[in-house]
Amino acid sequence: MLKFMSIITIVLAAFCCVLSFRCDYLQNKNNELSDKVEEFQDAIKKFQKDSAKAAKTVEKVRTVVKTVNEPCDCYNTPIPEQLRNLVRGEN
């Protein structure tokens, strides 16, 4: 009986050690994935911010194009400086 109890104790101790190492491994993986999620969230926020800025620039370009008083021969004349500055982001 004592031999049986000692074997069960050793098996349970080994099982607990395996579980402990597995929990540490999973915790490290979880931390890595959490860091990646934060990076992706930051990238998405930056993309949304840049997208909103681009949409505003496009709206400004449309406004400039709508208010042009003379027709533009786009193949033979340079692009107006105001429009070039808007596209470049130089307001």
Domain definitions of the chain by residue range: 2-88
**Whether the Cβ atoms of residue 24 and residue 43 lie closer than 8 Å to each other:** no
Q: Helices 2-66 and 81-88: crossing angle, nearest 10°? A: 170
pTM for this predicted structure: 0.56
**Whether the Cβ atoms of residue 86 and residue 57 lie closer than 8 Å to each other:** yes
Residue by residue, pLDDT tens for the chain (91 residues) are 888 889 999 999 999 999 999 999 999 999 999 999 999 999 999 999 999 988 888 888 788 777 766 766 667 777 777 777 777 776 6
Q: Which residue has the tokens 């800025």?
A: 53
